Amino acid sequence: MAPQINDLPDSSFRRILRQISDLEYEKGFALPGAFYTDSQWLQIEREQLFLRDWFCVGRIEEVSQPGDYFSFDQVGEPILIVHGRDGVIRALANVCRHRGTVIASGSGNSKKFLCPYHHWAYDTTGQLLNAPHMESHQAFDMKDCRLKQLGCEFWQGFIFVNLDPRAPALQVELEPLEKIIGNYHLEQMTLRYQADEVWDTNWKCLLENFMEGYHLTPLHRDTLHKVNPSRLCNHLQPGSRHFGYSVGFTSRLPADRISHPDLSDEEVDTCVMFAVPPGLAVGIGSDYSSFLCLRPLSATRVRVKMGLIFYGDHWAQKDIDNAVELFQHTMDEDKQVLARVQQGLASNSYEPGPLAARDLEGTIWDFYQYLGRNLGGDEPTGTASIGRAENK
């Protein structure tokens, strides 16, 4: 009998994660609702996941030219991704070295970044160029002043950032995943559609939703079910930095679709869904793929950058439009159901239910194991206790 993890006496979040560590898939249960509603638990996730681990922020194509940049906030940290005029793409703290103002906003192409407050100016590598009326300061040398540089790695065309200078390199840890998805050559696909949305759900709900195939048939009956039904889902062996599943197609792709020659016939006929937690989920198709980059805003809201990347330059605009419409339609179905999930998770009546078979919801269990490895350790004093639901 699987443990009724919602009923553990004096249970804490960390203890629950330890309790389920390494349990078989067949004993898997959902997590208690407070994991998805408690703002103090989100703070722990912020400190121990998002401030320590690598998170994906977008695609290299977004900053393809020198001077291209985009800026955003990740769990309260203002970040600037910029393609320097020296040819290097960097992640910089978007925080002025004078008195802390956030410097750049939005995205674009620029020769320099001017802080709006006192007009300190930085070049595209983060070096301070000019600081008006600062010549008389005796302990300040402009040449030694630059925006703080953050960990930045590129993998399969995605940009990853790390806010912890002690973090181990990501590329090596993703080698097992690369063995599975390497032939699809995501790094050769090009971003042709991007959207930025705020969803009324916890970031984990969105990741779990994208990463389980159980709902493909019932929720997406008129869309994804027709091409990728739940019955064709297969769980993939997880690694320390990834988890995923594959799903076959109901029929072969039309012959005019073009995909990478490295792909086997079987790979061409298979979608691979993978996550690199905490922030990236990808749905690979042989000819085009989708991705999500997650940025938690609160326990119950998440900002998501989503996009479609396409293989080859043969695409007619109408085919891209059709792909976008299918993607956006299914995402809208997910968005609506996740608002209802979030509502139910905050209810006193909610008790964690059993997870479906490994091929359908094994990835949820893999995600919990990731949470357990990173959050299930010793409790610092003041660890949040279950039950403080956030209303908004």
390 forms part of the interface with Fe ion (CB under 5 A) = no
Give the separation between CA 263 and CA 309, rounded to whole angstroms: 17
Residue for token pair 């490295």: 262
Residue for token pair 């949305």: 197
Nearer residue to ligand FES within complex by CB, 118 or 301: 118
Instruction: Report in angstroms how near the CB of residue 186 gets to ligand FES at its nearest.
Output: 38
Window contacting Fe ion (CB under 5 A); options: 9-17, 252-260, 327-335, 377-385 = 327-335
Instruction: Report in angstroms how near the CB of residue 21 gets to ligand FES at its nearest.
Output: 46
| Residue numbers at the binding site for ligand FES (CB under 6 A) | 96, 98-99, 101, 115, 117-118, 120
Nearer residue to ligand FES within complex by CB, 27 or 117: 117
Nearer residue to ligand FES within complex by CB, 2 or 114: 114
From ligand FES, Fe ion, none, interface partner of 117 (C-beta below 5 to 8 A by class)? ligand FES
Instruction: Report in angstroms how near the CB of residue 259 gets to Fe ion at its nearest.
Output: 23
Nearer residue to Fe ion within complex by CB, 150 or 224: 224
Instruction: Report in angstroms how near the CB of residue 2 gets to ligand FES at its nearest.
Output: 55
Position 180, amino acid: I
Nearer residue to ligand FES within complex by CB, 139 or 172: 139
Instruction: Report in angstroms how near the CB of residue 100 gets to ligand FES at its nearest.
Output: 6
Binding site for Fe ion (CB under 5 A): 334
